[in-house]
Structure 1
């Protein structure tokens, strides 16, 4: 599986191609799915461009994207979108349109309670385990581990030289991941090396403007669809070649 991550915390300062409105996200998602993405991860935005978990913002984003694609669509619950853990829970419980899944960063305060609330509402949980945090240790002892949809092994090392080593170390810390599927991805300079490692390991991965603004050859990415097409080619080429 290759998931497209449409926008992340990027802003208009990162370029006009980063989709920020529901309509732009929907159009970008449709192009990415046509290019081969089988899942969508998106950060809903307010009209001012801020990440938001507000019910009306999430609903508008999901409805726009689902009008264009027929693949699962997930959203973020990152603390930057709503810093207060109690308010994050209130937001999730007030959602009127539900995503297929939502990412929960396991190192953030209130992660267990948030994941439980999502599961209670029938929303799949992507357990975000970031390198450089205690997320892997927390997840290893979590009673919710066997209930999550999948584990996101998120390599935060942006160095293209060391990112794969960071990814291997993170996968070791995650271990058996409660038997759940693992999606491995990197960020910025580490995005393409880690994607190739995911291919060699036979793991799902993701690519999109959230994770990188550059194509494998270092040129500027023109769209999420172009990143997905290149990502699929790199991932497939790496599969079966060994770690």
Structure 2
């Protein structure tokens, strides 16, 4: 994505994620009459039909796009993921409810030489489509705020390698997130060495909200991420 202002025209250059022939066909598209030789020269614009790169005005961009996502791209070897689900008994809701400890819980533990040093982690929680509303699974959402999404959050605790108890205040909390109505939430932190590891508890905000999810930890350290 690139934003340029030339001769009073504020334009945005975008590439569709599939890099194919699907492009904007309004003002400032490849074949639109707005392009003069001067503008093509200034923006080094050479129309190509199949690369998926196109220009549009800033005004049109604001009309047709509601959200901008800034993504971190990690090497595949840094990703450690587990699949889970909030369903029936395990849809326990947030810590305000006595059932919160019924949520799926996962232990994150450093191994090898990394077990004796602080480790930097970036943790994401991605929710899928709720079981009760449509076919279970994952799909992309055009907006970060969607009525079909639940408010989700997670806590990272010290629990001596065991599942967290019914009362969250029995454990030391080292981090977590707010509850957000979003397909994906994340947090970033440095974890001190602990031979028992840390417990991650992903939850929806209310009990009974059922959906699949993926919990991912991105780190250069050698770790084990496993269900408790």
Give the TM-score range, shorter chain. under 0.3
Which of the two has greater strand per residue?
2
Higher relative contact order (CA closer than 8 Å, sequence separation 6+): 2
TM-score (norm 2): 0.22
Larger of the two Rg values belongs to structure = 2
Q: Which is richer in helix?
A: 1
